[in-house]
Amino acid sequence: MSEVTRDSTAKIVYLHALSGSLPMEHNIELCSSNDIDLIIIIISSSSHFLERQSIRETWGSMPNLMNIRSQCLFVVGYQDGNSMFEELLNEAKRKHDLLYLTVDDDSV
């Protein structure tokens, strides 16, 4: 496992997807419940915390709507020069609904 520094202000550790590793923090609980019928994937920019929070507080907070058990999963990518990596890492630890890809955010 090698570390790659993307900018000088923050040391960002990336795990290469081809090696079978996962980006950010290994979270085996992410969408692992047998009680989920539907996973809703929401593509989001890494800087859109308020938008993700609005979804969590509105329609994303209804996991059992019409007897369909669902879970929202926010997918964000890397932005060059992104100093928000620590904030994203903290959000992922707190919310357990964030998947950080090791691809450019513009291509997500």
pLDDT digits (tens, 9 = 90+) for 11-55: 334 433 334 444 455 566 666 667 888 889 999 998 899 999 999
Report how many domains make up the chain.
1
Residue 63: which domain range? 17-107
79 or 10, which is more confident?
79
Indicate whether 7 belongs to any domain.
no
Which contiguous run of DSSP H or E holds residue 56?
helix 49-57
Indicate whether 5 belongs to any domain.
no
Q: Between the CA atoms of 99, 107, 80 and 86, what dihedral angle is there, to the nearest 10 degrees?
A: -10
Indicate whether 44 belongs to any domain.
yes
Indicate whether 9 belongs to any domain.
no
Indicate whether 63 belongs to any domain.
yes
Average pLDDT, the chain: 73
Indicate whether 23 belongs to any domain.
yes
Indicate whether 8 belongs to any domain.
no
Question: What is the percent of the chain where pLDDT is above 70?
Answer: 58
Cα gap 76→42, rounded to integer Å: 9
Q: pTM for the complete prediction? A: 0.68
